[in-house]
């Protein structure tokens, strides 16, 4: 039955894309035309604005928060942000399962109520269990992170406040899934803005009255609660049948958990692969070192929304192409590689060249001194990780999320071992090296798996490798020179070569890049 839901969701996405088959004049137009018709460029714009607004608030507010708290307290607050974000991934993949199931069934009132309330009850149970665990283990976690003795009580209380947020954080993806299935992208992204304001602006206001972490974390909790209440209100308005109250359907629970099984593995492991380095640094170095590392990492994570937007547009197109049509899948994959080349590589070069200037202007000299090299390494990882998202989306689109999940499971213990060794030898710079190496290995494995499934994707894999090697060489050259003038000259040269390369690629691919896929008949996979 789970496979039936998967196929139905793919067919729905394919039908939505069926009439957008005109050849584009640029890669960006290709990607916009590959968006589902009802979402189209407007949905992509909502997604980018919804991601960019919190990023802008973070850039404005984090310097003030870091300056007022100092490196140690700010490092603890950065870990608090990480804990809140990671809690959302205890929802066992049920957010996506609800979105797919709701779309596949056409949102029939009775089934929608059973599905959504069942998913909410399951995730609420997981969130409550996770919160209780954090509540009990907060003192041990604080000792593990080597928090200075004068701050242990404050840090313990802060983590216990966060524990109360777990049920809200874990259930919210289910509510989001309902709105995504109904394509209410504008309302969904607008709903996150008040919470983002409280998350970043709230602590700035609170710091006018206190420097204790506990009130700041209560402000974070208020932001999460506000966001959850707004999303809940939107769901009840969009699906009034949910107002009839909770119901648990064992049959629906089994289908949802089966469908979300492999997705939940990636949902749990992927953010851990991104955030475990902060905890290793906190345990092996200090909370202050976490602050220096997290500030550089936060920039790169926020810039990752660009490649995320590319993948968000391409995924329905991947899902709508039968596996036997390998050439069309290869064209789509190559379009994504070219988009990363044109959109993400320039950002990475700017970050690597201006790492010191950016961190000094943003957070001050100490952060620039400790974090510039970290940001350069992570900038390379930004490009490679953007490339890795493309074959991951393709594999999930053709019905093989188990491949990406198994890869993530294999990566986690290896990454932790390498990360521990690198942090022990080189501190936070070693953590950045380990992360860059991990995303490079991840990308190589994903492209290898993709080429095995779709041999026609070999050319796209080679082009992705060329982009990664070019990024490594360019960033290496930029970091070898200390003169600002020399870096500006190298950036100009790199920009010229990039523009020339893109012009040649687009000229060669004009009229060749595939448009939106045709509908997939039921049972064709």
Q: Which two tokens stand for residue 15?
A: 């039908």
Number of structural domains (the chain) is 2
Q: In this structure, is residue 20 part of a structural domain?
A: no
Q: For residues 211 and 296, state if they share a domain.
A: no
Range of the domain at 208: 40-268
pTM as predicted:
0.66
pLDDT for 422: 92
> Rounded to 5 degrees, what angle do the CA atoms 113, 116, 121 make?
115
* pLDDT higher than threshold 70 for residue 357: yes
Instruction: Calculate mean pLDDT across residues 480-484.
Output: 79
Distance set, CA 321 to CA 21, 311, 329, 389, 443 (Å)? 13, 15, 7, 18, 22
**Quick count: other Cβ atoms within 10 Å of Cβ 37?**
14
Instruction: Calculate mean pLDDT across residues 49-54.
Output: 75
Q: Band of the pLDDT at 89, cuts 50, 70, 90?
A: low
Q: Which two tokens stand for residue 358?
A: 């950016």
Q: For residues 212 and 70, state if they share a domain.
A: yes
Q: In this structure, is residue 278 part of a structural domain?
A: no
Q: Give the span between the Cα atoms of 107 and 185, in whole angstroms.
A: 17
pLDDT for 47: 63
Q: For residues 357 and 506, state if they share a domain.
A: yes
Q: In this structure, is residue 170 part of a structural domain?
A: yes
Q: For residues 337 and 447, state if they share a domain.
A: yes
Q: For residues 192 and 330, state if they share a domain.
A: no
pLDDT for 443: 92
Q: For residues 238 and 338, state if they share a domain.
A: no
* pLDDT higher than threshold 50 for residue 460: yes
Where is pLDDT greater, at 256 or 149? Answer: 149
Q: For residues 245 and 302, state if they share a domain.
A: no
Of all residues in the chain, the percent with pLDDT exceeding 70 is 77
DSSP 518: P
Average pLDDT in the chain: 77
Residue for token digits 């979300």? 260
**Quick count: other Cβ atoms within 10 Å of Cβ 253?**
17
Q: For residues 247 and 340, state if they share a domain.
A: no
DSSP 353-372: HTHHHHHHHHH-HHHHHHHH
pLDDT for 414: 92
- Length in residues, the chain: 525
Please list the helix, strand and coil fractions of the chain in percent, rounded to the nearest 5, in that order: 85, 0, 15
Q: For residues 169 and 294, state if they share a domain.
A: no
Q: For residues 293 and 193, state if they share a domain.
A: no
Q: Is residue 50 a contact partner of residue 330, using CB atoms and an 8 Å limit? A: no
pLDDT for 432: 92
Q: In this structure, is residue 333 part of a structural domain?
A: yes
Q: For residues 490 and 436, state if they share a domain.
A: yes
* pLDDT higher than threshold 50 for residue 219: yes
pLDDT tens column, 358-392: 888 888 888 888 888 899 999 998 999 999 999 98
Q: Band of the pLDDT at 260, cuts 50, 70, 90?
A: low
Phi, psi of 311 (to 5 degrees): -65, -40
Question: Which of these, 126, 238, 127, lies nearest to 177 by C-alpha position?
Answer: 238
Q: For residues 319 and 456, state if they share a domain.
A: yes
Where is pLDDT greater, at 505 or 97? Answer: 505
pLDDT for 331: 86
Instruction: Calculate mean pLDDT across residues 437-446.
Output: 93
* pLDDT higher than threshold 80 for residue 28: no
Q: How far apart are the first and last CA of the chain?
A: 15
Q: Is residue 217 a contact partner of residue 80, using CB atoms and an 8 Å limit? A: yes
């Amino acid at each position: 039955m789970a496979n039936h839901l998967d196929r139905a969701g793919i067919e729905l996405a394919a039908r939505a894309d069926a009439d957008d088959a005109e050849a584009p004049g640029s890669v960006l137009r290709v990607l916009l035309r590959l968006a589902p018709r009802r979402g189209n460029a407007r949905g992509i714009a909502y997604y980018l604005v919804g991601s960019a607004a919190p990023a802008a608030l973070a850039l404005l507010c984090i310097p003030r928060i870091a300056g007022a708290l100092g490196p140690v307290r700010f490092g603890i607050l950065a870990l608090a942000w990480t804990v809140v974000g990671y809690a959302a991934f205890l929802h066992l993949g049920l957010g996506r399962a609800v979105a797919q199931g709701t779309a596949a069934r056409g949102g029939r009132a009775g089934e929608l109520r059973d599905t959504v309330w069942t998913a909410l009850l399951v995730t609420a149970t997981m969130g409550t269990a996770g919160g209780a665990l954090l509540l009990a283990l907060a003192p041990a976690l604080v000792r593990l992170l080597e928090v200075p003795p004068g701050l242990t009580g404050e840090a313990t209380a802060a983590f216990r406040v966060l524990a109360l947020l777990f049920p809200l954080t874990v259930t919210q993806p289910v509510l989001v899934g309902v709105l995504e299935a109904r394509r209410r992208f504008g309302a969904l992204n607008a709903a996150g803005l008040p919470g983002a304001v409280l998350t970043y602006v709230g602590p700035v206001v609170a710091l006018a009255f206190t420097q204790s972490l506990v009130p700041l974390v209560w402000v974070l909790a208020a932001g999460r609660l506000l966001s959850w209440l707004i999303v809940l209100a939107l769901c009840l308005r969009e699906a009034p049948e949910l107002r009839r109250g909770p119901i648990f359907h064992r049959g629906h629970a089994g289908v949802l958990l089966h469908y979300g099984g492999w997705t939940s593995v990636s949902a749990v492991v992927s953010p851990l692969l991104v955030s475990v380095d902060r905890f290793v640094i906190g345990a092996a170095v200090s909370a202050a070192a976490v602050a220096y590392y997290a500030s550089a990492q936060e920039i790169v994570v926020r810039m990752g929304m660009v490649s995320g937007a590319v993948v968000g547009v391409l995924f329905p197109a991947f899902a709508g192409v039968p596996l036997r049509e390998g050439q069309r899948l290869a064209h789509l994959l190559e379009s994504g590689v070219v988009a990363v080349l044109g959109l993400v590589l320039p950002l990475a070069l700017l970050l690597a060249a201006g790492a010191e200037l950016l961190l000094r202007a943003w957070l001050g000299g100490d952060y620039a001194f400790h974090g510039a090299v970290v940001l350069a390494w992570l900038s390379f990882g930004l490009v490679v990780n953007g490339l890795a998202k493309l074959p991951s989306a393709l594999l999930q689109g053709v019905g093989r999320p188990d491949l990406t999940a198994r890869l993530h499971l294999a990566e986690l213990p290896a990454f932790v071992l390498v990360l521990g060794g690198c942090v022990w030898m080189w501190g936070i710079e070693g953590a950045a090296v380990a992360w860059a190496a991990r995303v490079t290995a991840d990308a190589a494995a994903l492209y290898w798996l993709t080429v095995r499934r779709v041999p026609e994707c070999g050319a796209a894999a080679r082009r992705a490798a060329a982009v990664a090697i070019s990024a490594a060489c360019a960033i290496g050259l930029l970091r070898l020179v200390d003169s600002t003038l020399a870096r500006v000259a190298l950036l100009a040269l790199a920009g010229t070569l990039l523009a020339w390369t893109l012009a040649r690629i687009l000229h060669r691919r004009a009229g060749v890049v595939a448009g939106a896929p045709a509908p997939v008949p039921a049972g064709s996979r």
